[in-house]
Structure 1
Amino acid sequence: MTSRLEHEIGEQPEVAARLLDRMLPLVGDLRDHLTSRGAEQVLLVARGSSDNAARYAQYLWPARAGVTVTLATPSLTTVYGRQPEVSRQAVVAVSQSGRSPDVVAVVEQARAAGRPTLAVTNDPSSPLAEAAEVVVDLGAGPERSVAATKTYTASLLAVAVLAGVWTDDPSDPDQLHRVPEALGESVTRASGVEEAADLVAGADRGVSVGRGLNLCTAHETALKITELTGALVAPFSPADLMHGPVAAVGPSVPALLVTPGEAATASVLEAVPELRRRGAPVVLLGGPTLDDVHRVGLPSTADLAGWLTPLTSVVLGQLVAWRAAERRGVDVDRPGDLSKVTLTR
């Protein structure tokens, strides 16, 4: 019997195609809104998997268009009663459910201050959608499995399309239109998943490593494995890993390295010799083939421009997490007695 999780992983290409059809024609209107009222910078607010999508925007939008992006700290609003300074900023919230009270509170205060606000959500009738002036509906359909998959890649794709608000690169639509096919190839033709899942399933802790545009992928892969398997996987950049936490890595602690064809990958691969010296099982998510290193690979038909690689790289992490959880006997649709929506304040 197919799990909801497996079904939703398989829906990702179709979700992406629908989102592009709806969203690309709106880029001009979104540009007018997000750059109105003297907005020169962007404040991003999110939680959970959506926070990982926001990490992508934190790298992508400055890299592609030079716009300054910061991540909000919602507890300043909900715990300490301090409103962030947003006088020069547009505020973009990413929340799949649209029901996190702290995310909603930041948007409400920004809108009350007269700032441009935009919500990226899978529920256009949610409190977040009501709080924001403009809504981008992910249109992914109901996501019933606890682990977010199709709503996460849809959020990444929305972030990628929004990069067009601040840049007029004529190649962007052509590259974006390749995403649904690449996702389909990633879901159905990834190699090495079962071997990597064996390594992960046998461990109770691990690390996930990525940098730059794919730091979000390291965080999201760690989250997926942790919530689905119950094994604690911690995300790091390679520099942060080497500044102390690498001491916890060894033969029983696998390391998953996010290594697509993207500029930041070279520095991630620099961690491999030290990880191997410590006896850690190393898994590359994409990238080159190395001796004594397991690789989860994508077919060449899934190749994307470097700035879009988080969309396909994270599918590899999803597949490994799903298969590892099944090996551990987990009900992947209801892992760890978790709820689908967490209401943080």
Structure 2
Amino acid sequence: MHAEAAETADAVARQFEANAPLVDALVQRLKAQPPAFIVTCARGSSDHAATYGKYLFETTLGLVTASASPSVGSVYAVRPHLKGALFVAISQSGKSPDLVRNAEIARAAGAMVVALVNVEDSPLAQIADTVIPLRAGPEKSVAATKSYLCSLAALLQLAARWSGDAKLLAAVDALPGALRDAWAMDWSPVVEGLKDARNLFVVGRGLGLGAAQEAALKFKETCGLHAEAFSSAEVKHGPMAIVGPGFPVLAFAQDDDTCASTMSVAEEFHQRGAPVWVALPGAQGQEVLPMPASPHPACTPLLTVQCFYKAVNALAVARGHNPDVPPHLNKVTETV
């Protein structure tokens, strides 16, 4: 896991260069036939990437983006009305039967199907109108790292070229270097603080919510640590009642308009006596985790997760777990 996560910056740089022509061709098609809305379909870490994609597409393109429930098509055999939609399926292996089935349904319904996959000859890729390869390279650890961040990077490159936003395009160029800087960050306070923990919350908002979801999954998957992800807005609707002394909170703050609300929640938890760590580019303080400068708020979740992966690998080892081979899990999960 550690070695694979360390390869992320190179993998993203390779992906950006190799995919630029095919992304541009897709963008030309999307501009010629603008979709009415976007639907994402994914599971696990890939679904957390889809959460990021939702906020990215809606904030940069103004296109409503919804998450499909794979069981609606694969189990309930419902045929959603998807004519005129862009259907974005995200999967590392491209083999899960329910994702493949939903892509088939979407294409038959008249949607344009785009697949983000690491395995270019997978069943999902064969159904898609356009394949955007993740180009993460082999990933043997059960816990996905570089393939997850390559999924976010692929979404980012698509949104940047589709929107034509100059600042976002420049940020894409700067991202590999920023990811290298992120890997050098020291988050050892989190490792030390969570060695004996049993539960925690990970909070984020907007573009950073998917990163919080991914972190919570990795805590469970690699460390045997129960963690739940919440929006810094939604956590106020009940869940925050259990936060107090001895209940840790990891806050992923964004350098955008959501920052104030996330920092406010973190401060409230701190005042209750909860151990709190905050990740935010440019922030300082005793409980602030170091972050490199971010080229753009849309890049910040990728940098946060890259810092986090190094820390969670160390935490798993400190808790006596093998992060490469979590119990009861397989690298490819094939749900129907």
TM-score range normalised by the length of the shorter chain: over 0.9
Could you list the runs of 5+ residues in structure 2 that have no partner in the other structure? none
**Is the 1:35–1:90 contact (alpha carbons within 8 Å) kept by the matching residues of 2?**
no
Equivalent residue for 1:119? 115
1:58-137 correspondence to structure 2 within 5 Å: 58-137=54-133
Which amino acid counterpart does residue 260 of structure 2 have in structure 1? A
**Is the 1:99–1:126 contact (alpha carbons within 8 Å) kept by the matching residues of 2?**
yes
Correspondence 1:43 to 2:36: no
Taking only aligned residues, the RMSD between alpha carbons, in angstroms, comes to 1.6
1:182-201 correspondence to structure 2 within 5 Å: 182-188=178-184, 190-191=185-186, 193-201=187-195
**Cα distance, 1:36 vs. partner?**
5.8
Equivalent residue for 1:299? 292
Distance between the aligned counterparts of 2:267 and 2:114, measured in 1?
Answer: 44
**Cα distance, 1:50 vs. partner?**
0.5
Distance between the aligned counterparts of 2:256 and 2:331, measured in 1?
Answer: 33
State the identity %.
36
**Cα distance, 1:37 vs. partner?**
5.4
Correspondence 1:210 to 2:201: no
**Is the 1:34–1:117 contact (alpha carbons within 8 Å) kept by the matching residues of 2?**
no
Which amino acid counterpart does residue 296 of structure 1 have in structure 2? L
**Is the 1:251–1:279 contact (alpha carbons within 8 Å) kept by the matching residues of 2?**
yes
Could you list the runs of 5+ residues in structure 1 that have no partner in the other structure? none
Correspondence 1:316 to 2:307: yes
Distance between the aligned counterparts of 1:253 and 1:99, measured in 2?
Answer: 38
Deviations 1:7-59 (A, max 9, x none): 01110010010011012233331123445656321111111101011111100
SS of the counterpart of 1:336? coil
Distance between the aligned counterparts of 2:34 and 2:2, measured in 1?
Answer: 45
Correspondence 1:259 to 2:250: no
Equivalent residue for 1:289? 284
**Is the 2:167–2:296 contact (alpha carbons within 8 Å) kept by the matching residues of 1?**
no
SS of the counterpart of 1:44? strand
Which amino acid counterpart does residue 292 of structure 2 have in structure 1? P
Q: 1:246 aligns with which of 219, 240, 251?
A: 240
Distance between the aligned counterparts of 1:242 and 1:316, measured in 2?
Answer: 27
Q: Decide whether aligned partners of structure 1 residues 70 and 35 sit closer, same or farther in structure 2, where only a CA change above 3 A counts.
A: farther
SS of the counterpart of 2:86? strand
Distance between the aligned counterparts of 1:175 and 1:8, measured in 2?
Answer: 23
- Report which stretch shifted further, 217-226 or 315-324: 315-324
Distance between the aligned counterparts of 1:117 and 1:259, measured in 2?
Answer: 33
**Is the 2:82–2:111 contact (alpha carbons within 8 Å) kept by the matching residues of 1?**
yes
**Cα distance, 1:67 vs. partner?**
1.5
SS of the counterpart of 1:250? coil
Equivalent residue for 2:230? 236
Distance between the aligned counterparts of 1:37 and 1:181, measured in 2?
Answer: 35
**Cα distance, 1:115 vs. partner?**
2.3
Distance between the aligned counterparts of 1:273 and 1:283, measured in 2?
Answer: 10
Distance between the aligned counterparts of 1:298 and 1:165, measured in 2?
Answer: 26
Deviations 1:240-265 (A, max 9, x none): 11111112222222100002423212
Distance between the aligned counterparts of 2:124 and 2:30, measured in 1?
Answer: 17
Distance between the aligned counterparts of 1:262 and 1:315, measured in 2?
Answer: 19
Structure 1 outlier segments of 4+, above 6 Å: none
Which amino acid counterpart does residue 243 of structure 1 have in structure 2? H
Equivalent residue for 2:168? 172
Distance between the aligned counterparts of 1:43 and 1:219, measured in 2?
Answer: 19
Which amino acid counterpart does residue 175 of structure 1 have in structure 2? A
**Is the 1:217–1:313 contact (alpha carbons within 8 Å) kept by the matching residues of 2?**
yes
Which amino acid counterpart does residue 189 of structure 2 have in structure 1? E
Distance between the aligned counterparts of 2:226 and 2:29, measured in 1?
Answer: 41
Give the TM-score taking structure 1 as reference length. Answer: 0.93
Distance between the aligned counterparts of 1:199 and 1:29, measured in 2?
Answer: 48
Deviations 1:119-158 (A, max 9, x none): 0000011111112121111111111111111001100000
Distance between the aligned counterparts of 2:276 and 2:328, measured in 1?
Answer: 30
Give the TM-score taking structure 2 as reference length. Answer: 0.95
Q: 2:262 aligns with which of 259, 264, 268?
A: 268
**Cα distance, 1:200 vs. partner?**
1.8
